[in-house]
Amino acid sequence: DVKVTQSSRYLVKRTGEKVFLECVQDMDHENMFWYRQDPGLGLRLIYFSYDVKMKEKGDIPEGYSVSREKKERFSLILESASTNQTSMYLCASNRQGIYEQFFGPGTRLTVL
Amino acid sequence: GEDVEQSLFLSVREGDSSVINCTYTDSSSTYLYWYKQEPGAGLQLLTYIFSNMDMKQDQRLTVLLNKKDKHLSLRIADTQTGDSAIYFCAEFTGGGNKLTFGTGTQLKVEL
């Protein structure tokens, strides 16, 4: 079975802190994605990556950056966390050409 | 641009059928998906339909696609309490392997 894991289920940070959210997939998928989920807004794509060291902006990249140094790992970075980044963050991956995305369990981030 | 809309809430009685609706705006969508999110979990693919199909049935699930109206629906027959979840529709338009998700519909199944 495909497994996508995220480093934390719950995280509480203070305004201005640098925050790292990590995602690991074990199926050698080329593509990885970071979304945030907010009530009434659904899932919005922050960043995605087609390959190691490659990244593309999604619909809401402002305030975020990403890193993909290894194929299996995709990190989301909040350089200076703000309260409006309090949200559920979901990571997903898929194989190139296969359109089903596999999701991790999510990280609920609270910024105080 | 891409925009996918769903109603936010649906409440049904156990044993009834549930119908969750979705409208999309991008006529070049090639695949349309339904994902389920149980409380505290990530999203899990339920079913999908190719844009050249009108209907797809998979056990208790029936997906209907009306391309002319850009309308997608998911019918769950004999709805059970375990079906309580948030249901997301999503479209794939072929650009960059990206999916565009709807706002999600919270399905509540009452006894």
Choosing among B4, B49, B99, which should be mutated to test the A contact, i.e. which has the most A CBs within 10 A?
B99
User: What whole-number percentage of chain B has pLDDT above 70?
Assistant: 94
For residue A70, give the amino acid letter. K
Percent of chain B with pLDDT over 90: 69
> From CA B64, how far away is CA A10, in angstroms rounded?
37
Residue from the list B31, B96, B102 with its beta carbon closest to the beta carbon of A42: B102
CB A72 within 8 A of CB A28: yes
- Minimal CA–CA distance to A85: which of A65, A99, A100? A65
- Judged by CB atoms closer than 8 Å, whether chains meet at A58 and B104 is answered as no
Confidence of residue B1 (pLDDT cuts 50, 70, 90): very low
C-alpha separations of B23 from A15, B48, B71, B82, B106 in Å: 38, 15, 5, 25, 16
Mean pLDDT of B80-98: 85
3-class SS letters over A61-88: CCCCEEEEEECCEEEEEECCCCHHHCEE
Q: Between these two residues, A102 and B25, which has the higher pLDDT value?
A: A102
Q: With an 8 Å Cβ cutoff, are A42 and B88 in contact?
A: yes
- Report the gap between the CA of A1 and the closest CA in chain B (Å): 13
B46 close to A (CB below 8 A):
no
Nearest to A42 among B44, B96, B104 (CB): B104
Instruction: State chain B's mean pLDDT as an integer.
Output: 90
Q: Chunk chain A into consecutive blocks of 10 residues (it has 112) and report each block's average pLDDT, rounded to whole numbers.
A: 88 97 95 93 93 92 96 97 97 85 94 97
> In terms of residues, how long is chain B?
111
Instruction: State residue B94's pLDDT score.
Output: 62
The token duo for A112 is 């105080």
